[in-house]
Amino acid sequence: MNLQILKLEDATVDDFIKAWRKFYISDENKDTIYFTNLNPINKLTEDNIQNLFLWKNGMRLSDKKQESLNNLKNKLSEIQKKISTYGNSKNELEEIYNYSFEFFENGYIWNLFFLHILKYEKCPIADMYAYRAYNYIHNGENELPVYNWETYQKYMDFFNEIATITNRITEKEKKEIDDALWGFGKFLENYPRIIADKND
């Protein structure tokens, strides 16, 4: 009989990424959409915006979300002109984040994805699974942190530190980090007892 058990053990950052990114529910064709539409702000098109948000949503957009997105696309030239004057300081990134509420009033994750699209070299994708993984790794808590700008700043520092440690420079390389955090965060949500038993 080929019986197996799942064993959790301490790992290096590279080993963590290698192991947990396998748990990311990937679709190579869909991820290709992400990479081919992620363009510098001055080359970003309305189609890029539409395709990226469809990719993020994972399904057809609701009428309300599409309406918000249409408003954003209609102001793309204005956005490009405005954002081109911003650097990557935390104060400037926070201003862009606050600016995003003109388009997505109640969509925290969408606001951060908008920021990611505009400043992808600095600002990682955020979602509930990656946040859960971050909160567990940093605080030992298997729960979601508060959704606010301060949390994202801490997550951004955490993510970029991993990218630096592992020498992941390109967006495809950084996506491996995102995939691993997503996979680990989903595992934490689905199997909290396994983690609790390990810590007992």
Per-residue pLDDT tens over the stretch 146-172: 999 999 999 999 999 999 999 999 999
Query: Which of these, 54, 177, 61, lies nearest to 125 by C-alpha position?
Result: 177
- Looking at residue 59, its pLDDT comes to 81
- Looking at residue 194, its pLDDT comes to 81
**Is pLDDT of 186 > 70?**
yes
- Looking at residue 200, its pLDDT comes to 60
Q: How far apart are CA 145 and CA 148, in angstroms?
A: 9
Query: Which residue in this structure is represented by tokens 């053990």?
Result: 9
Alpha helices in the chain (DSSP H): 13-20, 28-37, 46-57, 63-74, 76-83, 90-99, 108-118, 128-139, 149-165, 171-190, 192-199
Per-residue pLDDT tens over the stretch 14-40: 999 999 999 897 776 788 999 999 988
Per-residue pLDDT tens over the stretch 97-145: 999 999 988 789 999 999 999 999 999 999 999 999 999 999 999 999 9
Query: Which residue in this structure is represented by tokens 């390109």?
Result: 170
Q: How far apart are CA 109 and CA 39, in angstroms?
A: 20
- Looking at residue 192, its pLDDT comes to 85
- Looking at residue 179, its pLDDT comes to 96
For Cα atoms 38, 57, 195, give the angle at the middle one, nearest 5 degrees.
105
- Looking at residue 40, its pLDDT comes to 86
DSSP letter at 43?
G
Q: How far apart are CA 38 and CA 51, in angstroms?
A: 10
- Looking at residue 199, its pLDDT comes to 66
Question: CA separation (Å) from 146 to 30, 98, 152, 172?
Answer: 29, 17, 9, 28
Q: Considering the entire predicted model, what is its pTM?
A: 0.91
Task: Say if residues 46 and 37 touch (Cβ distance below 8 Å).
Answer: no
How many residues can be counted in the chain?
Answer: 200
